[in-house]
Structure 1
Amino acid sequence: MENQGREALRHQHRPENIARRLQQKPRPPKLADFVLGAIDGCVTTFAIVSGAFGAGFPSVVVIIMGFSNLLADGFSMAVSNYESVHTQLEHARAARRTEERHIDLVPEGEREEIRQIFAAKGFSDDTLEEVVATICSDRRLWVDTMLAEEYGISSVPAKPVVSGLVTFLAFVLIGAFPLLPYLLQAGPVDAKFYLSCALAAVTFFAIGLCKGWVNGNPLLRAGARTLLLGGSAAMLAFLVGFLLRGLVPVS
């Protein structure tokens, strides 16, 4: 197995394969948007389920409250994520305009910044000057380097609409799982709640497995970590519903 993996890596690192891979434009990561929407959607709907169970509401109330909040909160979170990513994009654009202006007004100062940045990386003497000359000979490369090194801004362009859409879809699709048992016509409310708890736990664990698989981390550890974090939030929602049961009695 190890030899097969090493051979696959060698194949990926052949010159022609490296060139083909580097020619492809990098894509903004969507896993964070998916995980954000999925976990929050599952927690939100399970909070409705646990709160309604603690208050003694019938299944029809859980369905109405659950799906109405699922859509409304999912849209709200998608808009929030859109605005967050859009703000980052605007910050990157403003930083780019600043660096463009600085290069026009004080090119020697900007060139010295490049020099000191790469001197700190271990370059020196003629090698350092060659690096500085190469970078500063290409204006776009010059600006991109300054954005990455001085501002920590990635060269991968952000896509606010895509981020918002991924968050919304993950929120609605994954967040609907804890509500599925309540769509069943038959069965006691207690059984539906316990089945909802099981679905929420499986959902959190599956999200963790997805993260672990994408990032190359141990699957069981990643699944358990997300289950612990998501389950803690879900438990908090259950405790709130249970405590409010005594303060707001339902006839």
Structure 2
Amino acid sequence: MTSARSRAHMERHRTDRIGWLRAAVLGANDGIVSTASLVAGVAAAHASHGSILTTAIAGLVAGAMSMAAGEYVSVHSQADTETADLERERVELRTDPAAEHRELAAIYVRRGLDASLAREVAQQLMAHDALGAHAHDELGISTVLSARPVQAALASAGSFAAGALLPLLVVLLAPGEWLLPWLCASTLVFLAGLGALAARAGGAGMWTGALRVTFWGALALGITWGVGSLFGAAV
């Protein structure tokens, strides 16, 4: 009979979520806040319901494309930097492996190993995968945290569209004279839920996450509403 101690020790970590979670939370938050703020600003300027609806749809489409393009470009820049650094390490390993061994051993000494053990560890790791050892321990590049531009772009665009769809549905369903109160109340509820969900997925406190996201969303909503009211009164 296999005992509990002999079973493989399995741990679940949240670092493998960092890439997509950051992009998804940013996209959904931006989708809710920017679309709701646009609608609030236009509605506060006494625009027609048709104009408000068009604004919400245009904000969803334009925002999703902007998020995808911006995320892809920024994350691809990170990927390009990682590729360049890895190529430099590959050349240095080929031309001066002894110096690279000393460099890796010095890293392990700084982490607490004695010099002889550090040299032995560096030697064994480089014999197994020299480039992988330097990528992880010298450059800080890992398979979990490495840049994935397409994944980040799709996560941002999809989550933005999902977030923007919520205020769009409010525009479609809310009575005309109650549009702004419904929009503001529902937006704060959406943001609080998003903040709590993101915090739970990341292992943080749900109340803190909810309050943080809701505060900044409410600030953006209030400022845009104020600007719309100002320009609407001036027309």
Q: Same fold (TM over 0.5)?
A: yes
Offset of residue 17 of structure 1: 4.1
TM-score (norm 2): 0.88
The residue aligned with 2:139 is 151
Specify which of 219, 225, 228 is matched with residue 238 of structure 1.
225
Displacement of 1:152 in angstroms is 2.8
Aligned mates of 1:158, 1:130 — CA distance in 2: 31
CA shift, 1:14, in A, is 6.4
Are 2:203 and 1:220 equivalent residues in the alignment? no
- 2:202 and 2:55 map into 1 onto residues whose CA distance is 36
Residue among 26, 42, 47 paired with 2:32 = 42
Aligned residues: 229
Match status 1:52 vs 2:71? no
The question of 1:182 aligning with 2:174 is answered no
Asked if structure 2 preserves the Cα contact closer than 8 Å seen for 1:85 and 1:160, the reply is: yes
Does 1:18 pair with 2:10?
A: yes
TM-score (ref. length: structure 1): 0.83
How much does 1:159 deviate?
2.5
Q: Deviations over 1:106-137 (max 9, x none)?
A: 11111111011011011114322211211221
- The change in CA–CA distance for 1:208 and 1:121 in structure 2 (over 3 A counts) is same
Q: Which amino acid aligns with 1:117?
A: I
Q: Bigger CA drift: 28-37 or 164-173?
A: 28-37
TM-superposed deviation, 1:79: 1.2
Q: 2:101, 2:119 within 8 Å by CA — same for their partners in 1?
A: no
Partner letter of residue 213 of structure 1? R
Q: Structure 1: how far apart are the matches of 2:175 and 2:118?
A: 74
Question: Where in structure 2 are there 5+ consecutive unaligned residues?
Answer: none
Aligned to 2:68: 78
Q: Which residue is 2:188 aligned to?
A: 201
Whole-Å separation in 2 of the counterparts to 1:78 and 1:149: 31
Pair 112,48 (structure 1): closer, same or farther in 2 beyond 3 Å = same
Q: Percent identity, aligned pairs only?
A: 26
Secondary structure in structure 2 of the residue aligned to 1:152: coil
Question: C-alpha displacement at 1:147, in angstroms?
Answer: 2.4
In the alignment, the residues of structure 2 paired with residue 168 and residue 109 of structure 1 have an alpha-carbon distance, to the nearest angstrom, of 45
Question: How many angstroms apart in 2 are the aligned matches of 1:115 and 1:187?
Answer: 69
Distance in structure 2 (CA, Å) of the matches to 1:40 and 1:243: 24
Q: Distance in 2 between matches of 1:222 and 1:97?
A: 39
Equivalent positions of 1:105-184 (< 5 A) are 105-138=95-128, 140=129, 142-156=130-144, 157-184=146-173
8 Å Cα contact 1:178-1:197 kept in structure 2:
no
Alpha-carbon distance between aligned partners in 1 of 2:6 and 2:227, rounded to the nearest angstrom = 57
Q: Structure 1, unaligned stretches of length 5 or more?
A: 1-10
Deviation at 1:144, TM superposition (A): 2.4
1:32 to 22, 31, 47: 22
